[in-house]
Amino acid sequence: MSGFAGDVVTSALWAAGMQSLGRSFKYHRPRGVLSFANHDVNVLLEDAAHINLRGDVTPLMQDMDLAAVNTFGNAGIKGDRAAILDRLSGFLPVGFYYKAFHRPKWLAPRWEGFFRFMSGLGRVKFDAPRVVTPKRYGFCDVLVIGTGPAGLSAAIAAASAGARVLAVDENARPGGSLGFARAGGDEALSRLNQLLESLRALPNVEIRSGTCAAGYYTDHWVSLIDAQRMTKVRARSVIFASGVFEQPAVFRNNDVPGVMLASGAQRLIYRYGVKPMETAVVLAANREGYEVALDLLRHGVQVAALVDLRQGGEPSAAGQRVAAAGVRVLTGYCIDEAVASGSSVSGALVCPLSQSGEPNRACAASISCDGILMSVGFTPAANLLYQAGARMRYDDQVEQFVPAQLPEGVYAAGRVNGVYDLEHKLRDGERAGLEAAKHAGYGSADSMLSAQEAVQRERRKPSHSYPIFSHPAGKNFVDFDEDLQLRDFFNAAQEGFDNIELLKRYTTVGMGPSQGKHSNMNAVRILARIRGEPIEKVGTTTARPFFHPVPMSHLAGRGFHAMRRTPLHARHDAAGALFMQAGNWWRPEYYAAAGKTKLECVREEVRAVRTAVGLIDVGTLGKMDLFGPDAAEFLERMYTGRFANLKVGMTRYAVMVDESGVVIDDGVVGRLSDQHFYFTTTTTGSANVYRELTRLNTMWGLQAGVVNVTGAYAAMNLAGPRSRDVLAPLTTLDLSSQAFPYLGLREGEVAGVPVRMMRVGFVGELGYEIHARAEHAVTLWDALMRAGSAHGIRPFGVEAQRLLRLEKGHIIIGQDTDGLTTPFEAALEWAIKMDKPFFVGQRSLKIIQERPRKHKLVGFNLSPGFAGAAPKECHLVIRDGDIAGRVTSIAYSESLDRHVGMAFVPPDMAADGTRFNIRADGGHMVEAQVVKTPFYDPASDRQKAA
Amino acid sequence: MTAALRQSPLHDAFLTLRPVLGIVHGMRVPLRLPGDGGTLTLALSDASCLPRMGVKGPQAEQWLRSQGVEMPLGVNAWTRGNDGMLIARLARSEFFLEDRMGGTSVERLSATLRPAPGVYPVTRQDAALVLTGALVNELLVQTCNVDFQHWRLEQPTVVMTSMVGVSVLILWHPLKAQPCYRIWCDGTFGPYLWETLLEIARELGGGAIGLESLFPETPGLVDKSRT
């Protein structure tokens, strides 16, 4: 088929005489144009690279190859095999899905497969090329959402006051209803041109068309979505001139192609030059319906009848002009049914309305036509207003929700504000523009229009209070996305879902891609009618960002994942390291060697540390300097241990708990001078610990200063029986155990680099943790590796370190503890000094201390000859068929020639020698035995080596 | 001062760009890069070699004044001393100092600074980036949520914010009639920040440049006694 440049897919198809443009979600009914405003999803298409393209806004391009989504078989929309579901609709009422899964249970998996096969719009294309959609930030003084008459007027007023204005509109061109609702004349177009002319004279206004404001966030952050990207705009004030969504009437077959919203027909005419039908019946309940009839007449469409739901008809000039044009006007009538011929409209069955508003079918008459237009009312496009925190109220005068109270810096203008007549909209926009500019710091109070003076809501009703008509044969749709009929709502209410939030979830009204733009208001009206309560009391559902679907690629953006690298990263890379993520760091997991498995490499690294010497990069540890006369007191309060008595030149293990007594971090505290401590935290805990230290330091007002030097210092642990031999030639420091004992801390130089050096024993061997400024890390590492080459040095990674520390029974916070573990459960009682006057979490620990333990961390081993599939971390400890605990760490120790591990078990299973079962993969049980830690070198002689 | 050669946090990143290297301020730096001298719309450079230091604490301002250091006008403001040193006030009691190319003030102050009640040294090992060029604001709106367009030299401002997920310190000043932004971040985030910004800069027609393009005095400062 062919079309014109400037066409969208829908307009080109409609112009070519194709009216069935898609299939509905549930019953696979044919669908055509509804809003033609991108407010419905009747026309959803896909091509080789994209899914769910919206035909109403997808520009027509040369050689497009498109297919409708949600059809089965090879015949596309016309031959959709799933159309049979329309005939079975009586068996698929609302709530069918939930009930199907409920009983019988054995059918649930089959239903799941069926639903997954049948449902969903479009198929994900895993081979589609990646589209780069970098996000942007944007800034302005006043953001105007919507460039209809009120929005344009607001933008002009705000910019004239000096504000930097950004005005956005989801449509391809600015102008809003001025561009397509012309009442058969040219005045609207002329006014639009005047407004655009005024705007062009203002250099401080930017207009972005084709841009949807899809989400509002605190402090006037608004996400703007265009074809290429998401822009996060920060404004000083925001004007919502977002207009309204036209609402459908509910009558039988109101979804047949050819039945459309009146504004949809106007858009076809004025935006794309497409005649929407030859002969129309207009269903109206407002002045706009008559104006649509005038537009139709002007463009050669015969109006067979104007069916007005109101008894009094339309008293305005538009009403008189329609009558003067000879159009048959039926007041107090409704359309009871759209008569379908094949997949399109062939007539309208009209009925007079009774006093109670019910169709009097005894007097029904048929009118031939090939199109039915619905002009029965509107609902405000207030989704973002709700997100901004606006309080809305239902105004009976205009039969719509209007803002009752707006947050600071947020303004509403135009139809979203309940203001409909053009002059009033322009004035309301001007008022909002001036107020928003003033809020942003521009203009003066004198320039303000009085809000009372400006907001002039109509005395007429642009919307009908209940344009909804039941029909014994149903197929009168309320939600076109979800194929929800009127009776579905009555059934839902009868089943007890008669609260608007429950009704929404049970029926799924408003939960389709249109997000309720054409269904939520009618659902509220129906529920109010069912409950016999005013609409105000029924309320509305919550509107969350994004109120309009946004492509996943836009949300992903470029994808920023900030990862840290130690200064030694390239050295590890060159040595064959395979990296793993540890928090936001890259760390070497192990160093690969050609022809060797990971396990072999790790065991060689472990062997090097146990028998010779190894070097590991521990620069990822959190590192803090703490200064000041109250530094020791600060540590006393922060950590569970005692630090006031820590001697200069010595270190001590430190445990941190939170207010509830849960272990949250550990590390080593060293004292460099009376008023200067240097200490480490866990790799993943450093940022949180520093934040907490800073907070408490501010709160306590101690004379202490904390400096986070995590990134400023590199650190490496030289460990193994030969480590002293490696280090000695590189430093003038006396490394003898007398001069530099176990747990000692020294400052000096290694290989000409100033260092802080701690004698530590995390891996259970003679070891030196050497800290130096990051800029010297490579010099230091290279010197150690060179000096170590004669001693068999090799770098080791996280995997080897985990095994080495496990052999020593040293815990890793976050692995051997969880978010509820207290020091009493983690076998850390020795590190808790409950007799101190105060430390964070002490009060909780005092309470916990008196309570019975629920579980305890113990060491365990498997039998020496165990050869089966070993348990893994997180496997469960089972007693009498019930879960009794879990494994936190486990590994095979070559040094001990058996599997060793740690597990949480109940206190009555924690005694040495207790045997227990672990359920391993596949469900088989593995017997383990509680043993004391350390497993390796129980007296720790090796790390204390003289 | 140690004789050990300093290494930039961005060393491994710029090494892939085939730079002409030289040692400035004890650090091996990219003096020239293949893109130098062209008409880049957006240029990124590594200025990590400039000596810098930090000091915080309730007496930090008093100590700096006692050393003759000029004070910025307020918090989140910066100034340049008579010796060309950049002094930024990050908080009421926290300061960041960076020497000019070839300057010795930071070295002098560092040697003087000792921890004392209310005066606490802050070890700085930042990755220091320079962003300049006509399209620099286009890069910034893709990476940072601060509105820089209102910044004026009359009110020299420094902000701590987030750029591509990294905490950074940013200030602006003109350079050769082009906007120029100085960006500092924790050195361990430096390679990620550099690579991410360079990728975006290249998409915008920019690239990396050597230090000589930014600091014409650099050639005279190269330590030729070390390689």
CATH number at residue B72: 3.30.70
CB contacts, 8 Å: B7 with chain A = 567, 775-779
- Comparing CA positions, the residue from A337, A214, A333, A344 lying closest to residue A279 is A344
Cβ–Cβ gap A134/B200 under 8 Å: yes
What stretches in chain A show pLDDT beneath 50?
Answer: none
A820 contacts A844 by C-beta, under 8 angstroms: no
> B183 and B72 share a domain?
no
For residue B134, give how far its alpha carbon lies from the nearest alpha carbon of chain A (Å): 17
Q: Is A131 on the interface with B (CB under 8 A)?
A: no
Instruction: From A751, A762, A736, A739, select the one nearest A788 (Cα to Cα).
Output: A751
Asked if residue B69 and residue B132 are part of one domain, the reply reads no
Q: Distance (Å, rounded) from C-alpha A208 to C-alpha A14? A: 28
**Do B12 and A629 lie within an 8 Å CB cutoff?**
no
Distance between CA atoms of residues A792 and A571, nearest Å: 18
pLDDT in tens, A30-74: 999 999 999 999 999 999 888 899 999 999 999 999 999 999 988
Task: Look at residue B2 in the predicted model and tell me its pLDDT.
Answer: 60
The answer to whether residue B226 sits within a structural domain is no
B192: tokens are 């990620």
Contact B187 A712 (CB under 8 A): yes
Instruction: Show the DSSP H helices in A736-879 as ranges.
Output: 777-788, 798-807, 842-850
**Which residues are bridge partners to B73 per DSSP?**
none
Cross-strand bridge partners of residue A680: A623
B183 to chain A, any CB pair closer than 8 A? The answer is no
Q: What pLDDT, on the 0 to 100 scale, is given for residue A450?
A: 60
Domain residue spans of chain A: 9-118, 136-245+380-454, 248-376, 466-557, 852-937
DSSP states of A400-466: EEEEEE--TTEEE-GGGGT--SHHHHHHHHHHHHHHHHHHTT-S-GGGPPPHHHH----SS-SS-S-
CATH number at residue B189: 3.30.1360.120
* C-alpha torsion sign, points A810, A816, A821, A825: negative
Domain boundary among B99, B122, B145: B122
Q: Which amino acid is at A260?
A: M
Determine the Cα–Cα distance for residues A853 and A542; give it in Å rounded to an integer.
Answer: 45
Q: With beta carbons under 8 A apart, name residues in chain B contacting A560.
A: 164-165, 196
Within the 670-709 window of chain A, which residues sit less than 8 Å (CB to CB) from chain B?
A: 673, 675-676, 703, 705, 707, 709
The helix/strand/coil state of A929 is strand
* Mutation site, B123, B166, B184, B193, interface A, largest A CB count within 10 A: B123
Q: Which DSSP symbol is given to A888?
A: E
- The answer on B141 and B198 residing in a single domain is yes
Same fold, A136-245+380-454 and A248-376: yes
Residue A454: partners with Cβ closer than 8 Å, 6 or more residues away: A427, A428, A430, A431
Q: Name every chain A residue with its beta carbon within 8 A of the beta carbon of B166.
A: 562
Segment B16-51, tens digit of pLDDT: 999 999 999 999 999 999 878 777 789 999 999 999
CA pair distance A289, A327, nearest whole angstrom: 13
Q: Which residue of chain A has the CA closest to B51?
A: A775
CB A622 within 8 A of CB A696: no
Distance in Å, alpha carbon of A580 to nearest chain B alpha carbon = 16
Distance between CA atoms of residues A217 and A237, nearest Å: 12
Which residues contact residue A702 at a Cβ distance below 8 angstroms, ignoring those fewer than 6 apart?
Answer: A628, A630, A633, A634
Is residue B109 less than 8 Å (CB to CB) from chain A? no
Test mutation, A627, A694, A747, A771, chain B, max B CBs within 10 A: A627
DSSP-assigned beta bridge partners for residue A901: A860, A890
C-alpha distance from residue A224 to each of A373, A550, A862, A866, A870 (Å) = 32, 10, 59, 61, 53
Contact A751 B4 (CB under 8 A): yes
| Assigned token pair, B215 | 């600091």
| Local structure of A483: helix, strand or coil | coil
The Cα A36–Cα A55 span in angstroms is 9
Q: Hey, is the C-beta of A138 within 8 angstroms of any chain B C-beta? A: yes
Alpha-carbon torsion (A307, A309, A310, A314), positive or negative? negative
The strand pair at A53-54 and A753-759 is best described as unpaired
Contact B3 A752 (CB under 8 A): yes
Residue B149 at interface with chain A, using a CB cutoff of 8 Å: yes
Q: Assess A133–B contact: CB distance below 8 Å, yes or no.
A: no
Q: What is the pLDDT of residues A651-703, one digit of tens each?
A: 999 999 999 999 999 999 999 999 999 999 999 999 999 999 999 999 999 99
Structure token pair of residue A322: 């329609």
The predicted complex's ipTM stands at 0.97
Q: 3-state class of A834 per DSSP?
A: coil
Using a CB–CB cutoff of 8 Å, tell me whether A565 touches chain B.
yes
In terms of residues, how long is chain B?
227
Residue A84: burial class (beta carbons within 10 Å; 0-12, 13-18, 19+): exposed
Chain B residues lying within 8 Å of A561, measured CB to CB? 165
Alpha-carbon distance values, A24 to A79, A185, B76 (Å): 14, 36, 58
Nearest residue, CB atoms, A776 vs list B6, B118, B186:
B6
Q: Which amino acid is at A53?
A: L
Considering only alpha carbons, which residue of chain A is nearest residue B167? A562
CATH of domain A466-557: 1.10.10.1100
Q: What is the enclosing helix (H) or strand (E) of B13?
A: helix B11-15
Domain that holds residue B69: 52-122
Sheet hosting strand A67-68, strand order edge to edge: A53-54, A44-46, A67-68
Residue A754 forms contact with B (CB below 8 Å): yes
pLDDT at B34: 87
Give the end of a domain, one of B107, B122, B137.
Answer: B122
- CA-based nearest residue in chain A for residue B165: A562
For residue A435, the distance in angstroms to the closest alpha carbon of chain B comes to 22
Domain A852-937 has CATH 3.30.2130.30: no
> Does residue B76 sit in the same domain as residue B109?
yes
Chain A window 228-287: which residues touch B at a Cβ cutoff of 8 Å?
232, 234
How distant is the Cα of A63 from the closest Cα of chain B, in angstroms? 29
Helices (H), A170-273: 187-200, 262-272
Is B221 contained in some domain?
no
Q: Which residues of B touch A753 (CB under 8 A)?
A: 2, 4
Complete edge-to-edge strand list for the sheet that includes strand A651-657: A651-657, A663-673, A676-681, A622-627, A705-708
In a domain, B3, yes or no: no
Who among A569, A753, A773 is closest to B125 (CB)? A773
Same-domain check for residues B80 and B179? no
Residues B101 and B34 both lie in one domain = no
Considering only CB atoms, which chain B residues are within 8 Å of A627? 57, 115, 120-121
Domain boundary among B122, B148, B165: B122
d(C-alpha B123, C-alpha A708), whole Å: 9
Which chain A residue has its CA at the smallest distance from B191's CA?
A565
Asked if residue B138 and residue B34 are part of one domain, the reply reads yes
pLDDT above 70 as % of chain B: 99
Please indicate, yes or no, if residue B217 is contained in any of the structural domains.
no
Compute and round to an integer the Cα radius of gyration of chain A: 37
A781 touches chain B (CB under 8 A): no
| Closest partner CB to B123 (pick from A135, A676, A773) | A773
For residue B7, the distance in angstroms to the closest alpha carbon of chain A comes to: 5
Is B95 within the bounds of a domain?
Answer: yes
**In this structure, are residues A590 and A799 in contact, taking their beta carbons and an 8 Å threshold?**
yes
**Does residue B130 sit in the same domain as residue B205?**
yes
Say if residue B28 is in the same domain as residue B98.
no
Adjacent-strand bridge partners of A10: none
Interchain CB distance below 8 Å, A560 and B196: yes
Q: Which fold has domain A136-245+380-454?
A: FAD/NAD(P)-binding domain (3.50.50)
What stretches of A242-340 show up as alpha helix (H) in DSSP? 262-272, 287-298, 317-324
- Beta-carbon contacts of A142 under 8 Å, excluding residues fewer than 6 positions away, are A154, A155, A158, A159, A163, A164, A165, A166, A235, A236, A237, A238, A239, A433, A436, A437, A440
> What is the least distance, in Å, from the CA of A713 to any CA of chain B?
8
CB distance from B16 to chain A under 8 Å?
A: no
Residue among B118, B122, B187 minimizing CB distance to A774? B187
Q: Which residues in chain A touch residue B12, judged by CB atoms under 8 angstroms apart?
A: 569-570
Secondary structure E strands in A661-784:
663-673, 676-681, 705-708, 713-719, 745-750, 753-759, 767-773
CA distance A174 to A151: 9
Contacts of residues B146-154 at CB distance under 8 Å and 24 or more positions apart, as own/partner, are: B146/B170, B147/A137, B147/A139, B147/A234, B148/B172, B148/B181, B149/A139
Judgement on whether residues B145 and B133 belong to the same structural domain of the protein: yes
* Tally of CB atoms within 10 A around A67: 12
Which residues of A fall within a CB distance of 8 Å from B144? 137
Does B120 contact A625 at a Cβ distance shorter than 8 Å? yes
Question: How many angstroms separate the CA of residue A704 from the nearest CA in chain B?
Answer: 8
Under 8 Å CB-to-CB from A727, ≥6 apart: which residues? A718, A735, A750, A768, A784, A787
A625–B8 CB contact, under 8 Å: no
Answer whether A567 touches B (CB < 8 Å): yes
Which of B23, B92, B159, B188 is the best mutation test for A, with the most CBs of A within 10 A?
B188
Average pLDDT of chain B?
93
Q: Which of A134, A566, A676 sits opposite B188 (nearest CB)?
A: A566
Partner A contacted by B117 (CB < 8 A): yes
Q: Are strands A794-795 and A614-617 parallel, antiparallel or unpaired?
A: parallel
Closest CB to B12 among A137, A570, A675: A570
Averaged pLDDT for residues B177-186 = 92
- The answer to the question of residue B112 being in a domain is yes
* Residue that the structure tokens 């497993």 belong to: A935
Domain A248-376 has CATH 3.50.50.60: yes
| Domains held by chain B: number | 2
DSSP A79: T
Half-sphere exposure of A305 (CA within 13 A, CB side): 21
Cβ pair A229, A136 in contact under 8 A: yes
Name the residue type at position A915.
R
Contact assignment for B122 to A754 by CB distance below 8 Å: no
CA separation for the pair A60, B90 (Å, rounded): 54
In a domain, residue B224? The reply is: no
Nearest to B56 among A137, A707, A776 (CB): A707
